[in-house]
Amino acid sequence: MFEERIYNFSAGPSMLPEPVLKKASDEMLNYGGSGMSVMEMSHRSKAYQEIFDETKALLKKALSVPDTHEVIFMQGGATGQFAAVALNLMGKTGKADYAVTGNFSNLAAKEAKKYGQVHIAFDSTDRGHTVIPSQSELDLDADASYFHYCANNTIYGTEWSYVPRVPCPLVSDMSSNILSRPVDVSKYGLIYAGVQKNMAPAGMAAVIIDRSLVGQELPFTPTILSYKTTVDKDSMYNTPPTYNIYMLGLTLKWVMENGGVEAMEELRDIRAGMLYDFIDNSSLFRGRAEKSARSKMNVTFTTGNAELDTKFVREAAAEGLVSLAGHRIAGGMRASIYNAMPVEGVKKLVDFMGKFELANKI
Ligand SMILES: Cc1ncc(COP(=O)(O)O)c(C=O)c1O
């Protein structure tokens, strides 16, 4: 039992900025004098439309989305997008390129195989997903309708530090690093993100799509996964996840009030730098990913001893540093340090790692 808020290193759902939660709490029973909670509002009401329009505009502003691209919100999380991307974009040539650098890009490729021919442009499975390919290592199919990659591999703790150059529309799963740095959206055909890490409570995906790619869906695409229908109906073909969109708006306001994605990037570098510096100088802990592939959002590390790892996770939790166990398929530890994680949280973690190291040196 904790009396106060703790540092939650969960990979997602994960920490939301405290001012965002406070604002939501203040507005919970009576939003802006409407006499009701946002949860209770009709999505067709004027008050809700204003929330929706503002959230969309804020996302465009935060990521400098060019006029060529549309912002939509869809249900089904990022996993829904694994299917939506293939259903909507595969039709052009019936083929697509996928880089498999972790669990989610693998799942995305598997899903796409149901709807067309998937060519694996790179696969790091046999290297335990500890690496990210260089541009020259990508085996690109000149005939692909699109190239899909996962910008940050949440489970394995690796991140692409460059934007791949490809001869077709670029599609990126940015679930776990969206809003952590500026992105040149014009380079992408489509960006999607499950919102439960850097954006809002779980339950939807934010999608940014080049309008020229809208309207190419396979004929059997379910209406609910159609980008064309979603764009045409401004994300309100059916009842949208109204509260998630409101929460995303609050998070985006917080991002903008705190210096935008440029400031988020600076803080990201401070947090990740502190952790990796400690790990690199530690005689007990070591990083899981290759240095050149390291994620600045999900830091994966281990002592190399499963029992000691478990002890670390347990003792850290008792200190208010929770959810540090690695994903079951990767093992070890994982500290997810998204935008909402205060630098003090990482400092406390590093201090605890130092104490644990001293107490458990062999
Ligand atoms: C990079 C990435 N892609 C996709 C997913 C799947 O997201 P969802 O659970 O929203 O379907 C996750 C979930 O953690 C993720 O980290």
Q: Is the CB of residue 81 below 6 angstroms from any atom belonging to ligand 1?
A: no
Atom of ligand 1 nearest to the CA of 82: 4
Measure the CA–CA gap between 293 and 278, rounded to whole angstroms: 17
Q: What CATH architecture does domain 21-257 belong to?
A: 3-Layer(aba) Sandwich (3.40)
Establish whether residue 77 lines the binding site of ligand 1, counting it when its CB lies within 6 angstroms of any ligand atom. Answer: yes
Q: Which atom of ligand 1 is nearest to the CA of 154?
A: 16
Q: Are 296 and 335 in contact (CB under 8 A)?
A: no
Query: Would you state the structure tokens that stand for residue 41, as one six-digit string?
Result: 């509002």
pTM, entire model: 0.98
Give 212's DSSP letter.
Answer: G
In the chain, where the domains are located: 21-257, 259-359
Residues 89-107 pLDDT 10s? 999 999 999 999 999 999 9
- Structure tokens belonging to residue 74: 């869809």
The pLDDT value given to residue 233: 98
The C-alpha atoms of residue 35 and residue 14 are separated, in whole angstroms, by 30
Determine if ligand 1 sits within 6 Å of the CB of residue 173.
yes
- Report the chain's C-alpha Rg in angstroms: 21
Instruction: Tell me, using a 6 A CB cutoff, whether residue 332 lines ligand 1.
Output: no
HSE toward the beta carbon, residue 78, CA cutoff 13 A? 29
Task: Tell whether ligand 1 has an atom less than 6 A from the beta carbon of residue 221.
Answer: no
CA-proximal residue: ligand 1, atom 4 (nearest): 78
Q: How far apart are CA 45 and CA 37, in angstroms?
A: 13
Q: In this predicted model, what pLDDT tens digit does every residue of 312-321 receive, in sequence order? A: 999 999 999 9
Which of 10, 73, 74, 79 has the most ligand 1 atoms within 8 A of CB, as the residue to mutate?
79
Instruction: Give the sign of the dihedral formed by CA 324, CA 195, CA 337, CA 82.
Output: positive
- Distance between CA atoms of 4 and 320, rounded to whole angstroms? 9
pLDDT given for residue 317 in this prediction: 97
Pick out the chain residues at pLDDT < 50: none
Instruction: Give the pLDDT confidence score for residue 362 in this predicted structure.
Output: 66
Give dist(CA 204, CA 39) in Å, integer. Answer: 15
Q: How far is the CA of 97 from the centre of ligand 1 (A)?
A: 19
List alpha helices for the chain, DSSP H: 18-26, 46-62, 77-89, 103-112, 227-232, 242-257, 260-280, 306-318, 343-359
- What's the topology of domain 259-359? Aspartate Aminotransferase, domain 1 (3.90.1150)
* Measured distance CA(302)–CA(356) in Å, rounded: 13
Ligand 1 contact via 157 beta carbon (within 6 Å): no
Query: What is the 172 CA–ligand 1 centroid distance (Å)?
Result: 12
